Structure 1
Amino acid sequence: MEITRRGLVTGAAVGGGLLVAWWFLPRSYPNPLAPAQGEHLFDAWIKIAEDGVVTVAVPQLEMGQGITTLLPQIVAQELGADWRQVAVEPAPVAAAYANVPLARRWADLWEPVAAGLSDDFDEMQAERFARSSRFAATADGTSIAAYEMPCREAAAAARAMLAEEAASRWGANWEECEVENGIVRWGDNSATFGELAEGAATRSAPDPAPIRPEPPRADLTAPASEGGAAAPDFPRIDLPSKVDGSFTFASDVRLPGMVFAAIRHGPNNGSELTGFNAEAAKGIRGIVGAVKTKRWLAVAATTWWSAQAALDAMEPQFTTAFPVDTSDIDARMDTLLKGGDSFKIAETGFGEEAMTRVDIARRYEVEPAPAASLETASAAARYADGRLELWIATQAPEQARRAAARAVGLPPEDVVLYPMPAGGSFDARLEHDHAIEIAHIAKELERPVQLTWARREEMIHTRPRAPYYMLLGAQLSEGGNGAIDALKWRIATPPSNREFGERLFGNLTAWAAIRESAGKSDALACEGAVPAYELPSVTVRHIPVETGQPTGRVRGNSHVPTAFAMESFIDEIASQHSREPLSFRMSMLGSDIRMAACLQRAASLAQWDGGADRSGQGIACHRIGDAETGGRIACVATARPGEGGVRVTRLSAAVDIGRVINPDIARQQIEGGLLFGLGIALGNALKMRGGLPEAFAYADLGLPTLAECPEIEVALVESSAPPADPGELGVAVCPPAIANALFSATGLRLRRLPLLSSGL
């Protein structure tokens, strides 16, 4: 009898651990896909039609990052499909699509007690949780880590089944058949996928699947075609429909008899609806009805504009228990940074005791920042016969479905969620408030309805990235060259990830989540604080702060403040000791040759001049993830002060994200991240007064316009490491690169983000 680790765990349980062992036993799940006429199912990932079209199910939210191209590309390359015949459909909520890597990363959020007992236990626990709760959230750049291998295994099995069907017709061995470009060949015989699909789908998939020896990989060393860059081998599937306007978002859904709802919220920290003037809306045409709860008021009409006009006329009034101002938040952050109790989050090398003195210390501050996606929250719903249908863009579909079900008193199995793509998200659609609201409205009105938040509501109800006050201290070597012997952080910030976890997994309100997480440490809020540099000692301490204002996740998350503080601090030490910033960083990298290669490549792209006084060039680098699998980026920014503020003229970045699957999408993500970081660095701060933002318009955020976008050059560094996510690297590295460039240009050291929040 073959003995496996899982079998051993199960057998050992007979004497007293049967319940625990049963909990970890594998489960089988039905195929969630439904074939259309002429389509044939191969597994939970692939359908092949008799016209040769290969449809790939994608369980991740498409929000501009290109996942509806990346996963189908992986399938196409492993299967041997013709890219011109590959289609995509959103996967239904199902256990087959569990995001186990993300479940493990977020274990502290859904199971804080048992997390961390052992690597094996954590892995099994995460898999069991993810599959049993159908957890398939899109976040933290885990899509490839979670789904590349399942996609390859599914495609390899389908390829073998197609080859077996062809071989049975030709009297051949299926292993001798070649499968490429949507055709199976053996000698002079050939058959298309469409011709083989019906018979192949009835065959048993081989176990294990015959995966190709080489994973999908782009050749970054191939020269560009004459006259410019070559066209991508796998162009984005969603691009043509986005260009011609036919791409369907949640706000584009139209159902028979649908009406349109607008909503009004009070401050996002415990506000209650106290009154409104219903009579004032009677003269507005097209009003269908109004729905009120303790926290909000919604009006539905035959047009959204009529519904919004009715809300304006009704003038809803709210009270709030916690009228928070930015000045109150700053005062509390300042007090706790100086003397608040802290939790040790990380300790490396010789430990905290290695720091016996502080030779240099600096304080850095980062103000809250909203996700500010261009598309506001929108959803459509239909409630009939005790059943709710929901069309919504969500990064956490099962959690949104369960929240909507609970809101209207339905069992989750009576709620059907149709996943829609998002016009940007930046983690805002991890929240599911609009799913709860549309469920209430649809049930009350008993007719199809679409809810769309106005920009004002998006700003009011935003849960921005938390504010950060950070104190960095370093003990330097006695040689006088600025070498760091020990580094210590004190990071004062709300435990925003714990708040988020209470909302997502505990279905708590924002203010209840604040109370539940108050005073608790949050390791995810300090990610990025342990740098890529090999320093003798690094200690990171978190000081949890309760500000009274809800916080959440925003693209880049904690890596934005920690990269800003660390790379600004490194630059300050280099300047104080007359060290050239690039060589100073290189001297501390130790064995991280991947980061060294990024720094050298970025410097070459930018024609780095050493960051000389008044040159306007600044350099920064950052790693997201561990030393083995993490992505690296180095960036040189060129900036100048001017009459209209600061002008960033050029960003040169070199990036190592391991094995690159689609270089076109990787560059898009890095360029987009750099521009997102530009907005964080030079945009306007989110100021609060009485629990409300001081400004509500999108233009008030001060985001870069097309005319203000700098020249961007991105070089992808060839690497054999596992794939890393490119989406957040540029966001993290851009602000410190710009801050260092401004110091070079002006001699002024700006230690607060946004950089111009207090003027230049």
Structure 2
Amino acid sequence: MHISRRGVLLGAGAAGGLLLAWTLTPRRFDPPLVAGEGEVTFDAWLKIGKDGVVTVSVPEAELGQGITTLIPQIVAMELGADWRQVAVEPAPVSGVYANVPLAARWSALWMPLFPGAASDPDAYLAKRFAEGETFNAAADGTSLTAHEGPARVAAASARAMLAQAAADRWNVAWEECDAQGGFIVHDKKRLAFGELVDEAADYSPPDPAVVRVQPPLERAAEFPAGAPLRFPRLDLPAKVDGSYTFAGDVRLPDMVFAAIRHGPIGDSHLGGYDTGLAQGVKGLIKLVNGKSWLAAAASNWWAAEHALKLIAPRFSATDTADTARIGAALDKALRFGDAVRIAAVGDPDSWLGKKFEHVAGYAIAPALHATLETASATARYQDGKLELWLASQAPQAARQRAADALGIGVERVVLYPMPAGGSFDRRLENDHAAEAALIARDLGKPVQLIWSRWQEHVAGLPRSPARAILAARTAQDGSLTALKVRVAMPATTFEFGRRLFGGDDQRGAQAAQDQGDALALEGAVPPYAIPHLMVEHCPARIPLPTGRARGNGAALGCFLIETFIDELASRSGREPLSYRMAMLGQDIKLANVLQRAATLAEWSGGTVGSGEGLACHRMKVAGREGRIAVIASARRDERGLRVDKLTAVADIGRIVNVDIARQQIEGGLVFGMGLASGCTTAYADGLPLTGRLGLLGLPLLSDCPEIEVEFMDSDAEPFDPGELGVSAVVPAIANALYAAGGTRVRTLPLNAEAA
């Protein structure tokens, strides 16, 4: 990994001054970290106390993905700290922590006329945008790509300054010193970090920073499941004993609680309501209304929610979400819509305009996030200043959303980042921040707004539904010669971009649905060597706003490709594994992953009656690659879909923390099981027909199968594993169901009725 020093300290040494972030034109930022008593700040990433405690600043919300362990681990390994003395604190929103790789990946959303000018992670325009717009967003597995380098540079600089302080005491060259276990050492001499911090602040770090030759790395073979860990999760003890503070656990003096009712999905407006119906509710304080919502504030949340149930506010709504209308719009776009070509290989126009040997149609239902914690935000507004406590994957966007709602400058909004009880990209949306801000201003006191599960389904934004047709030309032996992938769905990524970067509301952002969207279909470009290929997007305007969800385009595309490839193998009478291997000569890494998964799972060939299915996938994000193969054993019984075992092998490059990587793969597999078995709803008159978590068909703990995960050894740049498991497990289960009963399922969820 090439590392250049991205930030240096100016002015009053390591304890103060300005931070300089280098691009072609440097940007200066106020130091984001504040040193407490007995602490010294080193760059924007860490503080060291006289007691030896190293506090690491993490610029992204902890959503369960382990980022509040990964960044501190990177700092600890580079610094030479004692893990037992490492603490973590959330970083304030600052351009110092800009996520440049994600800004580059989403460049078409904020610079649609010339996206190619900023699409490279090293592009000058991407850096300027990310730093200037305080783009601290966390998504698409870009966290390590964005933050590992700067965190290592900061830790290496601090290590050098500590070494210089110790070397002057010992009258030796600082380059001869090392840092181990919280000490600077030279031969048999050693000094603790805490003894050196005051002196170290007076030294200047070398420029460029001298990072360790070996980057943070754990070999998977050294840490099998259940083995003792060198870097256990920092958030785990508090989560186990219940002391971990989520957004909904915030408590402020004189705080009240609010529940809310949103209007139906569509062009919705709040109509009449009778306040007298809730007069008898003990603890009710006030009703607050917005354009398309009504909130109740009370001394406790249950009283506020009960008041809204009694009032049952009326809404007027047009162009409402309706499952039949959504399906009709998708079908029309698929059959008659103008297509935007997303990818092409060979001569698809000649080969894919003739008769096809095999054609299959697919229907994908909208998918809900089903987070354990619903939307929650605490707001306090006084003297023209707003304070917000919430979990957000896009904290600057949350600040801007709230500021716009109140009509104040974003600099008047202070956001205290909180962890979330799951997100799956749900916390990229920040409507609840604006609502909480408006309610707090109206009440004149702190308020905590919590959406009920029903409101999460009404006002949350599902993953887009889709319709698709896949058509193939094959050779005499059944080999795939030409493939056409045609998908109808709204331009969900651009719709999301209008909300995130343009500040549009849900209704306004739907205007972006009818354009080509390569990111939404990136998973539909197969990893196989196919002589002639065409991937088309048929944009569809549907009466349902859509958002991002874990897996995104990778999960959608992989389901289409891998189930269709399985059909082609079966149609040609060839074994599914060997059929895929024959097309992977150009990707030896994926071939090795697939072969290893087959060996580990004792693959029997996927014959009818075996109940075994496989799928594989390759992802590319910010110049890095991840690969996975999943083999599932599944069947149907009187309880519905049953998954007995999942075997996954992944190649994600250099692994920083094996235990967290394994958790991410396992979590992705279970999340994908939810997509396979349910996690959706129908709509009528603008309202979801499923309002409870228990009715979504999610797997219970007793439904979780035996899961075996293995990693390929690699020194390539690390790839975030959070999305990989989601992408490949659903088609693996679908193919296993075919092998169990001989029936193809081309719908998501994989319900028996659709089959």
Question: What band does the TM-score fall into relative to the shorter chain?
Answer: over 0.9
Q: Does 1:262 align with 2:259?
A: yes
Q: Does 1:486 align with 2:479?
A: no
1:190 CA drift (Å): 1.2
Corresponding residue of 1:214: 214
Percent identity reads 53
Q: 2:290 aligns with which of 272, 278, 293?
A: 293
Partners of 2:612 and 2:735 within 8 A in 1 = yes
1:261 CA drift (Å): 0.7
Corresponding residue of 1:7: none
Corresponding residue of 2:59: 59
2:584 and 2:283 map into 1 onto residues whose CA distance is: 66
Cα deviations by residue, 1:158-190 (Å, 9 ceiling, x for unpaired)? 100000011111111100112110001123321
Partners of 1:263 and 1:296 within 8 A in 2 = yes
Corresponding residue of 2:616: 621
Partners of 2:159 and 2:179 within 8 A in 1 = yes
| Structure-to-structure mapping, 1:493-532, within 5 angstroms | 493-515=489-511, 517-532=512-527
Structure 2 counterpart of 1:403, one-letter code: R
1:488 CA drift (Å): 1.3
1:24 and 1:189 map into 2 onto residues whose CA distance is: 43
Q: 1:736 aligns with which of 731, 734, 743?
A: 731
Structure 2 counterpart of 1:79, one-letter code: L
Structure 2 counterpart of 1:261, one-letter code: A
Cα deviations by residue, 1:103-158 (Å, 9 ceiling, x for unpaired)? 00001111101211476798111110000010010100000000010011111111
Partners of 1:685 and 1:757 within 8 A in 2 = no
Corresponding residue of 2:396: 398
Q: Does 1:607 align with 2:602?
A: yes
Structure 2 counterpart of 1:489, one-letter code: V
2:209 and 2:720 map into 1 onto residues whose CA distance is: 26
Structure 1 counterpart of 2:501, one-letter code: F
Worse-matched range after superposition: 110-119 or 66-75:
110-119
Corresponding residue of 2:456: 458
Structure 2 counterpart of 1:639, one-letter code: A
1:268 and 1:92 map into 2 onto residues whose CA distance is: 34
Q: Rate the CA distance shift 1:123–1:659 in 2: closer, same or farther, 3 A.
A: same
1:486 and 1:658 map into 2 onto residues whose CA distance is: 31
| Structure-to-structure mapping, 1:160-175, within 5 angstroms | 160-175=160-175
Corresponding residue of 2:415: 417
1:653 CA drift (Å): 0.8
Q: Does 1:715 align with 2:710?
A: yes
Corresponding residue of 2:134: 134
Structure 2 counterpart of 1:311, one-letter code: L
Corresponding residue of 1:700: 695
Worse-matched range after superposition: 533-542 or 43-52:
533-542
Corresponding residue of 1:598: 593
2:107 and 2:347 map into 1 onto residues whose CA distance is: 28
TM value normalised by structure 1: 0.94
Structure 2 counterpart of 1:472, one-letter code: L
What are structure 2's unaligned runs of at least 5 residues? 5-21
Corresponding residue of 2:560: 565
Helix, strand or coil for the counterpart of 2:719? coil
Q: Does 1:555 align with 2:550?
A: yes
Partners of 1:356 and 1:475 within 8 A in 2 = no
Structure 2 counterpart of 1:303, one-letter code: N
| Structure-to-structure mapping, 1:72-111, within 5 angstroms | 72-111=72-111
TM value normalised by structure 2: 0.95
| Structure-to-structure mapping, 1:436-447, within 5 angstroms | 436-447=434-445
Partners of 1:273 and 1:318 within 8 A in 2 = yes
Q: Does 1:431 align with 2:442?
A: no
Corresponding residue of 2:13: none
Helix, strand or coil for the counterpart of 1:665? helix
Q: Does 1:751 align with 2:746?
A: yes
Partners of 2:118 and 2:126 within 8 A in 1 = no
Q: Rate the CA distance shift 1:559–1:121 in 2: closer, same or farther, 3 A.
A: closer
Partners of 2:483 and 2:533 within 8 A in 1 = yes
Corresponding residue of 1:535: 530
1:269 and 1:511 map into 2 onto residues whose CA distance is: 7
Q: 2:246 aligns with which of 240, 243, 249?
A: 249
Q: 2:382 aligns with which of 366, 381, 384?
A: 384
2:121 and 2:460 map into 1 onto residues whose CA distance is: 36
Helix, strand or coil for the counterpart of 1:172? coil
1:469 and 1:453 map into 2 onto residues whose CA distance is: 31
Structure 1 counterpart of 2:525, one-letter code: V
1:581 CA drift (Å): 0.4
Structure 2 counterpart of 1:600, one-letter code: Q
Helix, strand or coil for the counterpart of 1:402? helix
Structure 2 counterpart of 1:455, one-letter code: R
Q: Does 1:338 align with 2:335?
A: yes
Partners of 1:277 and 1:313 within 8 A in 2 = no
What is the number of equivalent residue pairs in this alignment?
734
Corresponding residue of 1:159: 159
Partners of 1:77 and 1:216 within 8 A in 2 = yes
Q: 2:362 aligns with which of 361, 364, 367?
A: 364
1:759 CA drift (Å): 5.0
1:70 and 1:684 map into 2 onto residues whose CA distance is: 30
Partners of 2:223 and 2:229 within 8 A in 1 = no
1:538 CA drift (Å): 1.8
Corresponding residue of 1:16: none
1:723 CA drift (Å): 0.7
1:107 and 1:220 map into 2 onto residues whose CA distance is: 35
CA RMSD of aligned residues (A): 1.7
1:650 CA drift (Å): 0.5
Helix, strand or coil for the counterpart of 1:583? helix
Corresponding residue of 1:309: 306
Helix, strand or coil for the counterpart of 2:197? helix
Corresponding residue of 1:283: 280
Cα deviations by residue, 1:286-332 (Å, 9 ceiling, x for unpaired)? 12212111111111111111111111111111111112211111122
Q: Rate the CA distance shift 1:353–1:148 in 2: closer, same or farther, 3 A.
A: farther
